Amino acid sequence: MHIFDAIRSRRAVKYFDPEFKLSESEQTELLDLAMQSPTAFNLQHWRFVVVDDAATRQAIRAVAWDQAQVTDASMLIILCADLNSWEKNAARVWANAPDAVREMMVPAIDAYYRDKPQTQRDEAMRSCGIAGQTLMLSARAMGLDSCPMDGFDFEAVAKIIQLPADHEIAFMVAIGKKTRDVWPKPGQLGMQEVVIRNRFPK
């Protein structure tokens, strides 16, 4: 599927075929594509919690408004942000860069993030958002459907997946084969409202 078609046909699907299963290689491909997403300073802040245990899925569904896609989708991925990735041996993500670049970037990372908790969170969450969109478009390009989800108890899910204290959940993505068509887009805003040239009017 052409990327333009994937973008225009991607919808948030709520009903998935529970009998449909993605192969291990298909799941690996989706995750690999998501990992091609850009991140600030190449820190790759995202962590992908792939929930494939049935009991764990059921526990998450219980704190996610009993939404069926949590258990019925072939793949459930919880996108988490490592808020402290900037200070966890950041040099390793520049290991293949020229020496001069690496020697410039590593201290720049420390200067940009240190003592700036809001910046640490903002950048990590932005990275998760970009990766999530890459994941959903990749799924669509494979003929699959997806649903981004934030309708759940974040604290409860964090406990279920044993989220480290320096991580934060961004959102979940369910991926699989839909069982019913979604309704037409309920109301798309026009460019005249959402596109601003140069600056907002006074």
Report pTM: 0.94
Is domain 3-194 classified as CATH 3.40.109.10? yes
Residue 19's contacts (CB-CB under 8 Å, 6 or more residues apart) are none
pLDDT at 186: 87
β 145-149/167-176 pair status? antiparallel
Q: Integer distance in angstroms from the first to the last C-alpha of the chain?
A: 43
pLDDT reported for residue 28: 98
Classify the C-alpha dihedral 143-33-70-169 as positive or negative. Answer: negative
Over residues 91-126, the pLDDT tens digits come to 899 999 999 999 999 999 999 999 999 999 999 999
Task: Convert the pLDDT of each residue in 140-186 to its tens digit.
Answer: 999 999 999 999 999 999 999 999 999 999 999 999 999 998 888 88
For 4-49, how does the pLDDT look when each residue is reduced to its tens digit (9 = 90+)? 999 999 999 999 999 999 999 999 999 999 999 999 999 999 999 9
Predicted confidence at residue 184, as pLDDT, reads: 84
State the maximum Cα–Cα separation within the chain, in Å, rounded to a whole number: 55
pLDDT score of 121? 96
